[in-house]
């Protein structure tokens, strides 16, 4: 029998009492490891984190916590090779795609280590300036931010087992809040290994960092009023979390990142053959193929002027045709596998659903798999769909196929384009392509109300921009509406979720002592 991965809870490594769920190589089909949380005393584990880990973290200053993050970065960097091996075996990703997750997670952790340095030797933050409460300035009000006296539960998705952990854990730990992470079962191995390496290094106080692999049953039940929960996944599961008594009755603070039908918009001034047009085609293909399209920020809808529709279809299809798909261990392969058979079936089903209203401009089935058995490997080629009637095809605006699938849609004018983009009902990110700064700026502001991030690509930043789908720790990650309404990252803004704001009303002398 394959190895049963341990859980770290209540300051000790524990194995579940069941046989566990098997994790498989999505290309070779071989069983890798098993995960199980059966029989764990979750209430005791949460209490230990809340009381022991939380108290120890809150006693430290931001600068001391930042130093711990920096130490964790060194441990993770020393073990990068092992993480890449796990990613290849468990997620089926090529090296560049693994880097987005592994190195992206480590970079984010390092960024918060540096940000924490700027917060100094306090363990609370002032929020704004003191305000008079009357004519006499002797008695004033000062808002403060203090870390919540609870735990942060992270219920993460399968597509980013490294980055999904550290982009949440970094601001939580820096805030002084202990972390319990529940990785998605399908790709839990990498998360568990990273936590193990950091725990074994003895960097954080006992209870500050825990991991529970396997079923999520009982985790929400263990939450108490001052805990927080952050979820990344489907809208259906998000609805279950929001209706759980922990949230609905005990008022646990919740952050949700759910479905997102993200867009790329080519402005009318970017005619075929222009640099902005070529940048769109290049970025669309990158977003469709990186991690086999298994990114919450990937481009799902591509909006172009009616006159550019055919040229865009040809340009994107030509680039997609060059994409080699198959075993990530083969150097010739540029796009690996989906995470498992269930995800493969889901993508095929979603693709067929969209094809009932859309034409197939580039058929992923034309890609011959490299060094992989199609009967076993969870690989699928990238498919570009097209719809001439962008108003009538409702499915492409409502359905996110979580794989290498995107749909090209024409628009009449800018007002029509913006209305079509908004039919996504709120998204994590939209990217805009053009050359005129004024038009790009105006369009970005028009899209800002319904998107967590607007990525503007013009020829002058062709070699500088960070990518439509790359989430940088300095920028907000989240989105309104169907994207979940959550907010993560955004530099020090991320710490707000893990702090409680309170107004201290006192004499100027007392408030001066707060600021000293």
Catalytic center residues = 257, 296
DSSP symbol at 320: H
Other beta carbons within 10 angstroms of residue 514's beta carbon come to: 14
Structure-token pair, residue 59 = 């006693």
Per the CB < 8 A criterion, the answer to whether 454 and 444 are in contact is yes
Contacts of 219 (CB under 8 A, 6+ apart): 42, 153, 155, 180, 182, 212
Other beta carbons within 10 angstroms of residue 470's beta carbon come to: 17
How far CA 229 is from CA of 96, 255, 486, in Å, comes to 31, 6, 11
Structure-token pair, residue 64 = 């001391």
Beta bridge partner(s), residue 469: none
| Alpha carbon distance 150, 97 (integer Å) | 35
Other beta carbons within 10 angstroms of residue 76's beta carbon come to: 22
Beta strand spans in 227-336 (E): 228-232, 253-257, 262-266, 299-305
Per the CB < 8 A criterion, the answer to whether 209 and 30 are in contact is no
Structure-token pair, residue 507 = 């004499």
CA dihedral 281, 286, 288, 289 (to 10 degrees): 140
How far CA 26 is from CA of 88, 215, 288, 346, in Å, comes to 9, 20, 19, 15
Three-state SS at 311? helix
Contacts of 430 (CB under 8 A, 6+ apart): 262, 263, 264, 265, 421, 447, 451, 453, 454, 455
Other beta carbons within 10 angstroms of residue 88's beta carbon come to: 21
């Amino acid at each position: 029998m394959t190895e049963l991965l341990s859980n770290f809870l209540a300051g000790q490594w524990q194995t579940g009492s069941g046989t566990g769920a098997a994790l498989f190589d999505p290309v070779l089909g071989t069983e890798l490891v098993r995960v199980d949380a059966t029989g764990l005393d979750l209430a005791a584990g949460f209490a230990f984190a809340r009381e022991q880990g939380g108290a120890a973290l809150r006693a430290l200053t931001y600068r001391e916590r930042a130093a711990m993050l920096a130490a964790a970065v060194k441990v993770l960097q020393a073990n990068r090779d092992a993480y890449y091996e796990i990613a290849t075996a468990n997620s089926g990703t090529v090296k560049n795609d693994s880097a987005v997750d592994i190195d992206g997670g480590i970079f984010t952790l390092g960024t918060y280590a540096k940000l924490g340095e700027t917060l100094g030797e306090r363990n609370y933050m002032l929020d704004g300036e003191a305000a008079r409460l009357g004519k006499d300035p002797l008695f004033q009000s000062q808002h403060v931010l203090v870390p919540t006296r609870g735990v942060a539960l992270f219920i993460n998705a399968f597509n980013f087992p490294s980055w999904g952990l550290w982009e949440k854990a970094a601001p939580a730990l820096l805030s002084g809040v202990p972390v319990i992470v529940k990785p998605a079962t399908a790709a839990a191995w990498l998360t568990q290994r990273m936590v193990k390496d950091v725990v074994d290094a003895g960097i954080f106080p006992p209870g500050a960092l825990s991991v529970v692999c396997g079923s999520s049953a009982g985790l929400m039940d263990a939450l108490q009023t001052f805990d927080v929960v952050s979820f990344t996944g489907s809208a259906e599961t998000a609805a279950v979390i929001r209706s759980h008594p922990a949230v609905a009755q005990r008022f646990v603070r919740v952050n949700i990142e759910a479905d997102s039908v993200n867009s790329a918009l080519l402005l009318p001034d970017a005619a075929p053959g222009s640099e902005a047009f070529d940048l769109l085609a290049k970025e669309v293909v990158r977003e469709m193929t990186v991690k086999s399209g298994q990114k919450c920020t990937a481009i799902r809808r591509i909006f172009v002027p009616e006159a550019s529709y055919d040229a865009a279809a040809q340009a994107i299809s030509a680039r997609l045709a060059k994409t080699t798909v198959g075993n990530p261990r083969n150097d010739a392969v540029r796009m690996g596998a989906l995470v498992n058979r269930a995800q493969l079936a889901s993508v095929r089903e979603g693709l067929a659903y969209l094809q009932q209203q859309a034409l197939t401009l580039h058929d992923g089935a034309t890609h011959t798999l490299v060094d992989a058995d199609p009967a076993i490997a969870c690989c699928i080629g990238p498919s570009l769909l097209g719809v001439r009637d962008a108003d009538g095809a409702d499915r492409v605006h409502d359905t996110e196929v979580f794989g290498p699938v995107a749909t090209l849609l024409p628009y009449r004018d800018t007002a029509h384009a913006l209305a079509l983009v908004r039919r996504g009902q709120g998204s994590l990110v939209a990217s805009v392509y053009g050359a005129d700064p004024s038009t790009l700026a105006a369009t970005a502001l028009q899209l800002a109300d319904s998107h967590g991030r607007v990525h503007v690509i013009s020829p002058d930043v062709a070699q500088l921009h960070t990518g439509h789908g790359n989430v940088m720790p300095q920028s907000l990650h989240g989105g309104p509406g169907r994207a979940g309404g959550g907010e993560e990252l955004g530099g020090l803004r991320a710490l707000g979720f893990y702090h409680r704001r309170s107004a201290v009303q006192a004499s100027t002398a007392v408030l001066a002592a707060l600021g000293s």
